[in-house]
Amino acid sequence: MDCIIIDDEPIAHHIIEDYVNEINDLEIVKSFYNAVDAISFLNTTKVDLIFLDIKMPKLEGLDFVKTLTNPPAIIITSAYEEYALKSYELSITDYLLKPFSFERFLKAYHKVSKAQPENTIQQSNIQSVSNEDTLFLKGDKEIHQVKIEHIKYLESYGGYVKLYLTDEKPLVIHQALQYFESTLNSNFLRIHRSYIVNKKYIKSIVGNRIKLDDMNLPIGQSYKINVVNLIK
């Protein structure tokens, strides 16, 4: 998802930028220190998400929202809790009270990603067939039929996902890892912003790493709870 930041505090920009860098499927395309400058940008450019402060010079955040005829998802980032109710009346997705943790930021991001309409997903690249154990995966030049049980793990690969299989060379698919996370069954576990593993191929867990047959994969800080639940 493409996003912009609108906030008059530089430190707020730095915090949000650091958090966004931890999420593979989210990218900042522009940052603004007042809402007026953002209006002209949004008149010509479509984004999926806005991180928006409320108390700003020239035009306050909630007044800015009212100027948008077809707004994207909006996450308010404010030090003032008293504007929360009024914000939700404007159909914002979430309200983050400063200072907020990465875990709280990630929860807000997941609200947005789950609410994204299905037509934003590149359906032509990946389609489930009637057999739930199989996927059709479109590579650069051909379409591959892959049994889900043969997928050992998936790796985010820039704007692509690389699938490592048990009996074939890896496949590179033009798709976000987030889509696979929501599509694959419960046998698959997100362990890092860049990795999803098939639990049946996990050999051991040592510290912050998961060992497969031929690879050691890192466990991301924000995904440790997934591994803890697996052990339980």
Q: What percent of the chain has pLDDT over 70?
A: 90
Among the residue ranges 75-84, 112-121, 192-201, the one predicted with the least confidence is 112-121
3-state helix vs strand vs coil in the chain, percent to 5: 35, 30, 35
pLDDT, tens digit, 9 for 90 and up, residues 3-58:
999 999 999 999 999 999 888 778 899 999 999 999 989 988 889 999 999 999 98
- The confidence band for 219, taking pLDDT boundaries of 50, 70 and 90, is very high
pLDDT at 60: 95
Give yes or no for residue 122 having a pLDDT over 50. no
Indicate the average pLDDT of the chain. 85
User: Residue 14 is encoded by which pair of tokens?
Assistant: 């730095």
Compute the distance between CA of residue 147 and CA of residue 135 in angstroms, rounded to an integer. 7
Maximum distance among all alpha carbons in the chain?
Answer: 60
Give yes or no for residue 183 having a pLDDT over 60. yes
pLDDT at 126: 44
- Residue partners of 66: CB distance under 8 A and separation at least 6: 90
Among the residue ranges 42-46, 117-121, 177-181, the one predicted with the least confidence is 117-121
Q: What is the mean pLDDT of residues 79-86?
A: 92
Q: What percent of the chain has pLDDT over 90?
A: 49
Q: What is the mean pLDDT of residues 169-193?
A: 84
- Residue partners of 72: CB distance under 8 A and separation at least 6: 46, 47, 48, 49, 50
Among the residue ranges 97-101, 134-138, 157-161, the one predicted with the least confidence is 157-161
Give yes or no for residue 113 having a pLDDT over 60. yes
pLDDT at 125: 45
pLDDT, greater one: 132 or 164:
164
Domains parsed from the chain with CATH numbers:
2-117 (3.40.50.2300), 127-231 (2.40.50.1020)
Query: Are the CB atoms for 231 and 189 separated by under 8 Å?
Result: no
Tokens 């362990």 found at: 191
| Strand order, beta sheet including 188-192 | 171-173, 160-165, 151-157, 195-198, 188-192
- The confidence band for 78, taking pLDDT boundaries of 50, 70 and 90, is very high
Direct distance between the N- and C-terminal alpha carbons of the chain, in angstroms, rounded to an integer? 33
- Residue partners of 212: CB distance under 8 A and separation at least 6: 152, 153, 197, 201, 202, 203
pLDDT, greater one: 191 or 137:
191
Q: What is the mean pLDDT of residues 161-188?
A: 84
Cβ–Cβ contacts within 10 Å for residue 118, how many?
Answer: 6
